[in-house]
């Protein structure tokens, strides 16, 4: 998926020869200390900033110079650290806008989602997969923080991606919300490849099939949870006492 990506901002090297793959039905987590370059890497993959060199491949195609919408049409969807829902619309309508963007159907932005059966059905299916079927007619602004994260996942799912880029999906979630979101993320692996950036190490080790550790823009180790826990460079650079979590 990624081959030898490099990115500098002025004299600062923030992505240093990064290569990694995400397999279908795999959760591949990227962890690392603050300032390691994780969000920059996700932006390079998602297409919001260009690399200086290297390549990004999706479904066997080189998408390095493609725009974010073009990548989305091929099957890449990203959620962000800060939720990007439209608060004045229902959860169903939020998901329906994502369906419309994917299908290009004739959906007027300010028309109620429930008036278009095709969009409504696909949006409802995405809400159900994200565990929000019973909140379909709830205005997004009044959802709990955890439910807003679920809605953001539903919006991503509605675009029917091959690859989900999840940037700190548990950010700001309390223990009960985390307990609800972790099984949901685990279930999404059955239908998507997932690249996950997350600071909650307990969740990372519970979810990830493989983990890559990013330090100063360079991947210093990749492996399963046991390999990463026991890796001396990882313990020294990042995990420390958290390695026993």
Residue 50 covered by a domain? yes
Residues 242 and 167 in one domain: yes
Q: Which residues contact 9 (CB under 8 A, 6 or more apart)?
A: none
3-state percent helix, strand, coil for the chain, nearest multiple of 5: 45, 25, 35
Residue 81: inside a domain: no
CA dist., res. 137 & res. 158, Å (int): 17
pLDDT digits (tens, 9 = 90+) for 190-209: 888 999 999 899 999 999 99
Is the domain of 60 the same as that of 175? yes
Distance CA 50, CA 208 (A): 27
Whether residues 49 and 167 share a domain: the answer is yes
**Domain shared by 225 and 116, yes or no:** no
State whether residue 140 is helix, strand or coil.
helix
Cα gap 138→195, rounded to integer Å = 29
Q: Domain of residue 71: give its range.
A: 1-75+161-179+192-245
Does one domain contain both 170 and 49?
A: yes
**66 and 173 fall within a common domain:** yes
219: three-class secondary structure by DSSP? strand
| Region 216-227 average pLDDT | 94
Residue 82 lies in a domain: no
Same domain, 169 and 71: yes
The percentage of residues in the chain with a pLDDT greater than 70, rounded to a whole number, is 89
Residue 80 lies in a domain: no
Structural domain includes residue 130: yes
In-domain check, residue 217: yes
pLDDT at 107 over 60: no
Q: Are residues 124 and 20 in the same domain?
A: no
CATH code of 205's domain: 3.40.50.300
Q: Is residue 187 part of a domain?
A: no
Inter-residue contact 165 to 45 (CB < 8 Å):
yes
State yes or no: pLDDT of 228 exceeds 70.
Answer: yes
| Segment among 39-48, 166-175, 196-205 with least mean pLDDT | 166-175
> How many angstroms separate the CA atoms of 103 and 38, rounded?
31
Q: What is the pTM of this model?
A: 0.86
- Could you give the number of structural domains in the chain? 2
Given a cut of 50, whether residue 142 has pLDDT beyond it is yes
Q: What's the confidence (pLDDT) of residue 227?
A: 94
> Could you tell me if 43 and 137 lie in one domain?
no
**pLDDT tens, position by position, 125-140:** 999 999 999 999 999 9
The DSSP annotation for 160-197 comes to --SEEEEE-TTTT--HHHHHHHHHHHHHHTTT-EEEEE
Specify the residue for token string 């300032």: 35
Q: Are residues 71 and 165 in the same domain?
A: yes
Residues 233-242: contacts with CB under 8 Å, at least 24 apart: 237/33, 237/213, 238/31, 238/32, 238/33, 238/213, 239/201, 242/201
In a shared domain, residues 136 and 165:
no
185 located within any domain: no
94 and 68 fall within a common domain: no
């Amino acid at each position: 998926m990624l081959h030898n990506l490099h990115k500098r901002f002025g004299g600062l090297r923030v992505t240093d020869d990064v290569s990694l793959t995400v397999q279908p039905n795999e959760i591949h987590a990227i962890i690392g200390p603050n300032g390691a370059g994780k969000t920059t890497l996700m932006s390079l993959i998602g297409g919001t900033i260009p690399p200086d060199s290297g390549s990004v491949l999706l479904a066997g195609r080189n998408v390095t110079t493609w725009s974010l919408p073009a990548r989305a049409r091929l099957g890449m969807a990203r959620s962000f650290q800060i939720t990007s829902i439209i608060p004045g619309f229902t959860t169903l309508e939020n998901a329906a806008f994502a369906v419309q963007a994917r299908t290009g159907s004739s959906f007027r932005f300010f028309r109620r989602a429930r008036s278009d059966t095709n969009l409504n059905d696909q949006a409802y299916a995405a809400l159900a997969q994200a565990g929000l079927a019973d909140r379909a007619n709830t205005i997004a602004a009044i959802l709990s923080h955890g439910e807003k994260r679920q809605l953001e996942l539903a919006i991503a799912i509605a675009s029917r991606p091959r690859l989900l880029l999840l940037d700190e999906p548990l950010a700001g979630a309390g223990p009960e919300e985390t307990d609800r979101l972790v099984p949901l993320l685990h279930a999404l692996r059955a239908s998507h490849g997932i690249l996950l950036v997350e600071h909650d190490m307990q969740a990372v080790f519970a979810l990830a099939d493989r983990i890559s550790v990013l330090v100063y823009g360079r991947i210093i180790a990749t492996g399963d949870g046991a390999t990463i826990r026991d890796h001396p460079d990882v313990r020294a650079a990042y995990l420390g006492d958290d390695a026993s979590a």
